[in-house]
């Protein structure tokens, strides 16, 4: 059977295990020899026990676990050609020419580069007598399918990344808990949520929790936000509301690009309204815990689709990323999605928020 390996790379997220499980089982079902690569690219570069054959039962009882059981890591070695050469050796000598990468845009970029270099890496290995002519010929094509694991939902091309829904569950649970105490004491609560430069988690959280105000990086407020915020909070209290909730995305900024932090918002509320105001920064709680049903199923579907994409690949099939489009798992060109995702980051850095939002929408 064909050699296929799966690995998780970059930041972890809930639902990665479901994806790993699905890749392993779909691969075995279709007659592949399936491997885990532990610790992301580092395991690929280091080889040895890091690359281990998987069987049907090695992915039992993992679907409900958060994080990734095969480990994830950032890997400096893989950024250099020397590291990728070692990685190529470790794959070829095991007969692995199909890779499923579960990670963020960095991990997918690395995979694409690896695939572009594959031929020349094998030439170098052959020239150094590390592999045989037969191996050079037999394993000359490398196929890649990616899927995005991230709680931030910050990747262009997919409606949802694996982990986002679980992170929202975690955040909402925390807010519900806070609301009950805030209600008793007539407090104002400021909650900072993750998302880096993407306001998705903050925005959806705000809608789902009846927040009074939300700050997200894609829609920076004018400099009069202080007055607007205070009058809104005051108005809510006057109309009988016993508490206020303000959601701040970790990347929130104002029109001038200055950060709007939970601390800053708190000072504004305390100075102007003298409300009893508390900050909650959820941090890594958002990444932890068990994956939601949605993320489990998303991981399963994407994993199966990724394996099918690899099995159907011909020598000139470009690397794909499996995405969710509506309720459909689809294959999109990996590099186009990565390029768009990077263009969003650039637009945000250029303070061109309208362009960023437009690029992030469906193409
Ligand atoms: P994410 O995949 O979550 O975006 P990173 O950007 O940290 O996370 O990327 C994860 C790993 O992918 C890096 O540690 C590195 O090993 C590999 N990688 C990222 N970018 C590249 C690149 N341009 N070339 C080669 N490898 C890369």
**Helices 293-312 & 164-185 angle (0-180, nearest 10):** 170
pLDDT at 362: 66
By C-alpha distance, which of 309, 359, 360 is closest to 331?
Answer: 309
pLDDT at 215: 98
Closest Cα to atom 27, ligand 1: which residue? 110
74 lines ligand 1 (CB under 6 A): yes
Work out whether the CA dihedral 338, 339, 341, 342 comes out positive or negative: positive
Positions annotated as catalytic residues are 152
pLDDT at 233: 96
89 lines ligand 1 (CB under 6 A): no
pLDDT at 42: 98
Ligand 1 nearest atom to the CA of residue 104, by list position:
2
Distance 75 CA to ligand 1 centre (A): 7
Strand partners, 191: 247, 280
> What is the C-alpha separation between 194 and 59, in angstroms, rounded?
30
- Look up the ipTM and state it: 0.99
By C-alpha distance, which of 76, 122, 78, 80 is closest to 97?
Answer: 122
Ligand 1 nearest atom to the CA of residue 77, by list position:
16
By C-alpha distance, which of 29, 154, 102, 6 is closest to 298?
Answer: 102
pLDDT at 163: 97
Mutate which of 78, 81, 101 for ligand 1 pocket (most atoms within 8 A of beta carbon): 78
> What is the C-alpha separation between 194 and 360, in angstroms, rounded?
18
For 359, residues 6+ apart whose C-beta sits below 8 A from its C-beta are 156, 340, 343, 344, 347
What does the chain come to in residues?
363
321 lines ligand 1 (CB under 6 A): no
Alpha-carbon dihedral angle through residues 104, 107, 112, 118, given to the nearest 10 degrees: -160
113 lines ligand 1 (CB under 6 A): yes
Per-residue pLDDT of the chain (363 residues; tens, 9 = 90+): 899 999 999 999 999 999 999 999 999 999 999 999 999 999 999 999 999 999 999 999 999 999 999 999 999 999 999 999 999 999 999 999 999 999 999 999 999 999 999 999 999 999 999 999 999 999 999 999 999 999 999 999 999 999 999 999 999 999 999 988 888 888 999 999 999 999 999 999 999 999 999 999 999 999 999 999 999 999 999 999 989 999 999 999 999 999 999 999 999 999 999 999 999 999 999 998 999 999 999 999 999 999 999 999 999 999 999 999 999 999 999 999 999 999 999 999 999 999 999 998 865
17 lines ligand 1 (CB under 6 A): no
pTM of the model: 0.95
DSSP state, 5? Answer: E
pLDDT at 360: 87
């Amino acid at each position: 059977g064909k050699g296929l390996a799966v690995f998780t790379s970059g930041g972890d997220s809930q639902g990665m295990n479901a994806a790993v499980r699905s890749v392993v089982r779909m691969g075995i079902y279709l007659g592949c020899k399936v491997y885990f690569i532990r610790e992301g690219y580092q395991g690929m570069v280091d080889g040895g026990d890091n690359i281990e054959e998987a069987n049907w039962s090695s992915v039992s009882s993992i679907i409900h676990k958060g994080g990734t059981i095969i480990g994830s890591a950032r890997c400096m070695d893989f950024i250099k050609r020397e590291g990728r050469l070692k990685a190529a050796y470790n794959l070829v000598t095991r007969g692995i020419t199909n890779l499923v990468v579960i990670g963020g845009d960095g991990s997918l970029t690395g995979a694409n580069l690896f695939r572009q270099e594959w031929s020349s890496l094998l030439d170098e290995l052959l020239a150094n007598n590390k592999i045989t002519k037969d191996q050079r010929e037999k394993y000359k094509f490398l196929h890649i399918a990616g899927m995005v694991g991230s709680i931030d939902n910050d990747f262009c091309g997919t409606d949802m990344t694996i982990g986002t829904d679980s992170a929202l569950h975690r955040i909402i649970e925390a807010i519900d808990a806070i609301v009950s105490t805030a209600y008793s004491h007539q407090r104002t609560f400021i909650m900072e949520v993750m998302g880096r430069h993407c306001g998705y988690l903050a925005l959806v959280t705000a809608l789902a929790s009846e927040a009074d105000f939300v700050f997200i990086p894609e829609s920076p407020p004018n400099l009069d936000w202080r007055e607007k915020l205070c009058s809104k909070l005051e108005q809510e209290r006057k109309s009988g509301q016993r508490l206020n909730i303000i959601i701040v995305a970790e990347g929130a900024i104002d029109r001038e690009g200055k950060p709007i932090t939970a601390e800053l918002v708190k000072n504004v509320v305390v100075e102007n309204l003298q409300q009893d105001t508390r900050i909650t920064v959820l941090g890594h709680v958002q990444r932890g815990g068990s994956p939601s049903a949605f993320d489990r199923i998303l991981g399963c579907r994407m994993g199966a689709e990724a394996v099918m994409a690899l099995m159907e690949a011909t020598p000139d099939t470009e690397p794909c990323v499996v995405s969710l489009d509506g309720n459909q798992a689809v294959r999109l060109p990996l590099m186009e999605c990565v390029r768009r995702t990077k263009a969003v980051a650039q637009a945000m850095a250029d303070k061109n928020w309208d362009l960023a939002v437009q690029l992030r929408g469906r193409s």
